[in-house]
Amino acid sequence: MSTLAERRPPVERRGTTARRLGWLLAGVAAVAVAMLLSVALGSRSIGVDQVLRALTESPDALTGEDASAAKVVRELRVPRTLIALMVGAALGMAGAVMQGLTRNPIAEPGILGVSQGASVAVVLAIAYAGADSLDDYVWFAFVGAALAAVVVYAVANQGRGGATPVRLALAGAAINALLASVIAGVLTTHGATLDEYRFWQVGSLTGRDAQIAAQIWPFLLVGVGLVAAAARGLDALALGDDVARGLGQNVAAVRVTGGLGAAVLTGAGVAAAGPIAFVGLAVPHIGRALVGGGHRWLLPMAALLGGVVLLVSDVVGRLVFPPSEVPAGVTTALVGVPFLVYLVRRSAVRG
């Protein structure tokens, strides 16, 4: 059985491909601009010429203002920019996969309990394991995210039919509620834990350094590989399980591969920056409007858009109340809430 895309005339397919490639190239350009803004702007603005010298010349060859600017660029802003790019890309792709797996337009990385699992692990680590730094939080958060994803899938997979989209959503909601109760219980009995946890929980890129980037990139590569392997199967799932099986897809394998990849991406992103809201919800919808719903195009578009959204949100947060910073998780939520309202209104009009 051929797909709809395969039955299109060759000229139409070429035109569609060219348009999609154009949007991907525009996404790459937007990422480059956003990265430049992230490195140059902040409580202290640095000129483009100083940024270029900081990135291309030896630190020993720079003096005075150029040497000071180079230290800020190399040690603070470049690692922060790379982490924002990686986390945004991870959450964007994870959101696209989860929406494809659950066939739910408002699904996002928190729907399977992954973000909440990371939060519980960080709370417990602060309260009982003496964790007191971002480097400690990364590993606890990743382990918590992975365990939560496994539990949600195990619960949803019980009974006839396996882990259907509805069961995944219900299991995710149930585990989320349980984990939220655990967090509330620990925080109400450990005041010192609340003081430390609230800075991580809001979602921020402040203080993230090259060491954290080095810790998460291998997991991001694994997650990207898994969701890429599931891309064709996700396209088939959009037509329904029975049609997907008729097209030769192993539905269970696609769900496990895609779900595992999304969990790894979300776990790495949340571990590095905390729970960043709405990137995984809004970005896939923007990507579909630009390149369509085919996941082989949507996933790279979501990665690029996710990076741009988080980078721009972080820059805006630095510029609003200098020298203080508004956490990136707050600025993405300010953008995401109106978008969610728009989705609800559009669904109501269509209904």
Question: How many domains does the structure of the chain reveal?
Answer: 1
Full-model pTM: 0.86
Give the pLDDT confidence score for residue 8 in this predicted structure. 52
Residue 238, domain extent: 4-350
- Give the amino acid at 42: G
Give the pLDDT confidence score for residue 348 in this predicted structure. 54
Give the pLDDT confidence score for residue 6 in this predicted structure. 47
CATH number for the domain that contains residue 239:
1.10.3470.10
Give the pLDDT confidence score for residue 11 in this predicted structure. 44
pLDDT in tens, the chain (351 residues): 444 444 455 544 556 888 999 999 999 999 999 999 999 888 788 888 888 888 887 777 777 777 888 888 888 899 999 999 999 999 999 999 989 888 878 778 777 788 889 889 989 988 888 887 777 788 888 888 888 888 988 888 787 766 777 788 888 889 999 999 999 999 888 877 887 787 777 888 888 888 888 888 898 999 999 999 999 999 888 888 788 888 888 888 888 899 889 888 988 888 888 888 789 888 998 899 899 989 999 999 999 999 999 999 999 998 888 778 888 888 888 876 777 677 667 665 555
Cα–Cα distance for residue pair 43/240, rounded to 1 Å: 50
Give the pLDDT confidence score for residue 92 in this predicted structure. 95
Cβ-contact 97, 230 below 8 angstroms: yes
Give the pLDDT confidence score for residue 2 in this predicted structure. 46
Among 222, 221, 299, which residue's Cα sits nearest to residue 260? Answer: 222
